[in-house]
Amino acid sequence: VATGAEPAHAATSITINGSSAGRTFDGVGAISGGGGNSRLLIDYPEPQRSQILDYLFRPGYGASLQILKAEIGGDTNSTSGAEPSHEHTRTDLNCNRGYEWWLMEQAKQRNPNIKLYGLAWGAPGWIGNGNFWSTDMINYLVSWLGCAKQHGLTIDYLGGWNERGYNISWYEQLRSTLNADGYSGVKIVAADSDWSVANDIDANQAFASSVDIIGTHYPCGYRSAQTDCSVPSAATSSGKPLWASENGSDDYNAGAPAMARGINRGYIDGKMTAYINWPVVAAITPNLPYPTMGLALAAQPWSGSYAIGKNTWVMAQTSQFTAPGWQYLDSSSGYIGGNRNNGSYVSLKSTDKTDYSTVIETMDASGAQTLNFNVTGGLSTGTVHVWSTNVNSSNPADYLAHTADITPSGGSFSLTVQPGRVYTLTTTTGQGKGTAAGPASKSMSLPYSDDFDGYTTGAEAKYLMDWQGAFEVAACGGGRSGKCVRQMSPQAPITWDPLTDPHALLGDLSWSNYTVSSDVLLEKSGYAELLGRANGQSYSGAAGLNAYHLRVSDTGAWSILSSNTGGTVSTLAHGTTAALGTNRWHSLSLAFSGSTITASIDGATVGSANDYTYAGGQVGYATSQGETAQFDNLSITPGP
Ligand code: 147
């Protein structure tokens, strides 16, 4: 007797079959690197720093990442900054530089089962006389693995050169060297580029046996254009695990729909068994490229303010309900009613083979849909817990919400799914959602100063973000005691992005009228610069920066320069003072008052300029290429 209204939608039957075949799930995770995007996280105050780390890594709390891919620093720009090398020169080795070791340790402390993956974007120029595909580079990776060992970190996966294709014999040599050096357990990913590597893997047995995993970037399309995740037949027929070894590049909130589609559809369309988001966290100032990309926003260490994005909760809908080693159930994965627009579902069973989780996304659905499930094949027919994230909601209560517990009857149950959601149905427990929240944002206050004496050698000075080169704490030269910041790259690097002069930025975009001063020492012929009112930074083409510069050379030549994102550098004033020479300390200052810019060297005003192109921005240090200049006693005072 049909008395009620007609259902507005058709019902779809889905069998969750524990005896289905399917590939082994390798995990969902994110990338710290490629690069610089995590920079400010380490400078956060407690307790906010631990809270953010919990939201990223702690099981049952937030994104609960299953894979952390970290950049192997190369002293060169790799998108939003430069990450430091463990070997600036052929004779150098320091296993404590930068923040990736720290981040991997923090991740492992929270989740000992997290998988670690190393990849280089660029490298110091001494390697292979500038040739990445060299024995030097292989040895460089082996020493990086040795550093990891010193940190108690086991690296699970290692790649070649980010998005720069592959060299077959280099990969073969990498495999044999790793085996010979005690790293036979490290799996090699090729080629963190496109699928073309699959043709060579299929055609060349020696190459095939050197590669464990085929990892491809943006295999469903770039950013929100992600649609079809199908892969070439050469990839599938290789028999290798296939990974979306980089995906994302989206805002920490707005990227959620693309991530929801991509995690499921990567498996359904292309049998990809890992989804790795770029990047893990947006811990850079807003003038840098990709300032809000990641799972969370953490751009203000001086205020402690942070925000956890919808990307975190979409990732949690898979990560909190599965583990690497679980098995996909192919016959229980697909598109609802066979129609991509209705949404998709993937099912996985646990390694104990009775628990299961089914992740459903309805990003493109236009209405409610009823799904009738039937559980078979030896899977648990116990209580089904339902969790969901509404990616269209701005209310955090709608993210990773535990919405229902269903008792199946005879292995059957139904669920009505709304559009724009991710649902996970699971027989597992232990999921959860952190409640910590950070303070309000605020600008960084002036005055600010740093004598750099409080750091260990090799550390990065607080808030100082490298764009190119490597600015790190070192013992001062020139007869001065204590610590200084030194630009450590003595030659042009093997680049990933366009080569620029080394520079590093610090501070708040809202700073307008101020004086920045610092001591500087040139170790060799060349120049060093103080930057002020630095704001927009371009990463493509000329990789230019909107900023004013006071440039001084060992010869005594000085200039006030204005640069822009298009890469144009204009001279506003210039002159010559007494030679600065090398290995001698000098003091520089650059003052901004409205349109007046005043430059001083060793306490004497050398020149000024009238320009108001830039009304405000950060301070910074820069050097000529390869100039290992030193800086000390940074001071920023409000007003001229
Ligand atoms: C990737 C890089 O691997 C990351 O380091 C970061 O730069 C990221 C930013 O989106 O991009 O490289 C890509 C650049 C362009 C495309 C894909 C990846 N693209 O146009 O498809």
- Report, as an integer, the average pLDDT of 118-134: 98
| pLDDT band per the 50, 70, 90 thresholds, residue 543 | confident
- Give me the mean pLDDT over the 485-496 stretch: 98
Amino acid (one-letter) located at 58: R
Q: Which of 629, 634, 636, 635 is nearest to 474 (CA)?
A: 629
Contact in structure between 161 and 199 (CB atoms under 8 Å)? no
Rounded CA-CA distance 589/603 in Å is 8
Which pLDDT score, from 0 to 100, does residue 6 have? 44
Residues 324-334 have a mean pLDDT of 98
If one residue of 39, 79, 245, 247 were mutated to test the ligand 1 pocket, choosing by the most ligand atoms within 8 A of its CB, it would be 79
Q: Say how far apart CA 519 and CA 536 lie, in whole Å.
A: 26
Going by pLDDT thresholds of 50, 70 and 90, the confidence category of residue 8 is low
Q: Is 386 helix (H, G, I), strand (E, B) or coil?
A: strand
Q: Report the distance separating Cα 229 and Cα 272, nearest Å.
A: 9
Calculate how far, in angstroms, residue 330's C-alpha sits from the geometric centre of ligand 1: 30
Please return the burial class of 180, using the count of CB atoms within 10 Å of its CB with bins 0-12, 13-18 and 19+.
exposed
The reply to whether ligand 1 has any atom less than 6 angstroms from the CB of 218 is: yes
Residue 196 in contact with residue 164, Cβ under 8 Å?
Answer: no
Ligand 1 lined by 540 (C-beta under 6 Å): no
Which secondary structure element, helix H or strand E, spans residue 135, and what is its range?
helix 135-150
Segment 5-9 mean pLDDT: 51
Q: Where are the alpha helices (DSSP H) in 218-309?
A: 233-237, 256-270
Identify the residue with better confidence: 6 or 505: 505
Closest ligand 1 atom, residue 79 Cα: 7
For 579-636, the three-class secondary structure string (H helix, E strand, C coil) is CCCCCCEEEEEEEEECCEEEEEECCEEEEEEECCCCCCCEEEEEECCCCCCEEEEEEE
Helix, coil or strand: residue 277: strand
Please list the helix, strand and coil fractions of the chain in percent, rounded to the nearest 5, in that order.
20, 35, 45
Long-range contacts from 7-11, C-beta under 8 angstroms, 24+ separation: 7/370, 8/367, 8/368, 9/367, 9/368, 9/369, 9/370, 10/337, 10/369, 10/370, 11/369, 11/370, 11/371, 11/372, 11/414
Question: Among 83, 87, 100, 246, which one carries the catalytic annotation?
Answer: 246
Atom of ligand 1 nearest to the CA of 248: 10
- Average pLDDT of the residues in 96-105: 98
User: 562-575: per-residue pLDDT in tens?
Assistant: 999 999 999 999 99
Q: Is the peptide bond before 447 cis (omega within 30 degrees of 0)?
A: yes
| pLDDT tens profile 76-85 | 999 999 999 9
* pTM exceeds 0.90, yes or no: yes
Active site residue 246: yes
Quickly state the pLDDT bin for 640 (edges 50, 70, 90). Answer: low
pLDDT at 352 > cutoff 70: yes
Q: What is the mean pLDDT of residues 150-167?
A: 98
CA angle 602, 607, 611 (to 5 degrees): 130
Rounded Cα distance between 547 and 616, Å, is 9
Give distance in angstroms: CA of 193 to centre of ligand 1: 10
- What is the whole-number distance in angstroms between the Cα of residue 195 and the centre of ligand 1? 15
With 80 as the cut, is the pLDDT of residue 320 above it? yes
245 Cβ inside 6 Å of ligand 1:
no
The torsion defined by the Cα of 392, 394, 399 and 403, in degrees rounded to 10, comes to: -80
Residue 584 binned pLDDT confidence (cut-offs 50, 70, 90)? very high
Residue 2 pLDDT > 60, yes or no? no
Q: Which of 612, 494, 536 is nearest to 164 (CA)?
A: 494
Asked if residue 434 lies in contact with residue 296, where contact means CB atoms within 8 angstroms, the answer is no
CA angle 359, 360, 363 (to 5 degrees): 135
Which pLDDT does position 4 carry in this prediction? 45
In whole numbers, what is the pLDDT of the chain averaged over residues? 97
Contact 226, 247 (CB under 8 A): yes
| Mean pLDDT within 326-330 | 98
Residue 1 clears pLDDT 50, i.e. is over it:
no
Q: Is 217 in the pocket of ligand 1 (CB under 6 A)?
A: yes
Q: Which atom of ligand 1 is nearest to the CA of 221?
A: 21
- Of 467, 492, 488, the closest CA to residue 130 belongs to 492
Burial label for 499, CB within 10 Å (0-12, 13-18, 19+), is: middle
* Whether pLDDT at 639 is above 90: no
Distance CA 476, CA 453 (A): 10
Distance CA(109)–CA(114), nearest Å, equals 10
Give the distance (Å) from ligand 1 centre to CA of residue 225.
13
How does pLDDT run across 169-213, given as a tens digit for each residue? 999 999 999 999 999 999 999 999 999 999 999 999 999 999 999
Instruction: Tell me the C-alpha to C-alpha distance, in Å, between residue 636 and each of 512, 515, 623.
Output: 11, 6, 19
Pairing mode, strands 384-390 and 401-406: antiparallel
**619 pairs with which residues across the strands?**
506
Question: How remote is the CA of residue 224 from the centroid of ligand 1, in Å?
Answer: 13
Task: Say yes or no: CB of residue 187 within 6 Å of ligand 1.
Answer: no
Q: Peptide bond preceding 301: is omega within 30 degrees of 0, i.e. cis?
A: no
The conformation of residue 522, written as its DSSP 8-state character, comes to -
**532 beta partners:** 548
Q: Is the pLDDT of residue 610 over 50?
A: yes
The proportion of the chain whose per-residue pLDDT surpasses 70, expressed as a percent, equals 98
Ligand 1 near 118 CB (within 6 A): no
Tell me whether 0.85 is exceeded by the ipTM.
yes
Which element (helix H / strand E) includes 82?
A: strand 82-83
163 lines ligand 1 (CB under 6 A): yes
The answer to whether the beta carbons of residues 633 and 479 sit under 8 Å apart is no
> Is residue 635 over pLDDT 60?
yes
Give the number of other Cβ atoms within 10 Å of residue 476's Cβ. Answer: 21
pLDDT score of 360: 99
Residue 34 alpha carbon to ligand 1 centre in Å = 9
- Cβ–ligand 1 distance for 34 under 6 Å, the answer yes
Which residue owns the Cα nearest ligand 1 atom 11? 249
Categorize the per-residue pLDDT at 5 as very low, low, confident or very high, splitting at 50, 70 and 90. Answer: very low
Q: Would the pLDDT of 270 be above 90?
A: yes
Asked whether the beta carbons of 457 and 483 are under 8 A apart, the reply is yes
Give me the phi and psi of 423, to 5 degrees please: -120, 140
Percent of the chain with pLDDT over 90: 96
E-only strand ranges, 279-317: 296-300, 305-308
The one-letter amino acid code at 576 reads: T
Q: Determine the Cα–Cα distance for residues 55 and 66; give it in Å rounded to an integer.
A: 13
Q: CA 58, CA 581: separation in Å to the nearest integer?
A: 53
| Size of the chain in residues | 640
In this predicted model, what pLDDT tens digit does every residue of 430-446 receive, in sequence order? Answer: 999 999 999 999 999 99
Which residues, other chains included, contact 80 with Cβ-Cβ below 8 Å and sequence gap of 6+?
Answer: 35, 36, 37, 279, 284, 288, 289, 290, 291, 539
Distance (Å, whole) CA 441 – CA 447: 18
Task: Check if 172 is active-site.
Answer: no
The CB density around residue 378, as the number of other CB atoms within 10 Å, is 12
Residues 6+ apart with CB under 8 A from 2: none
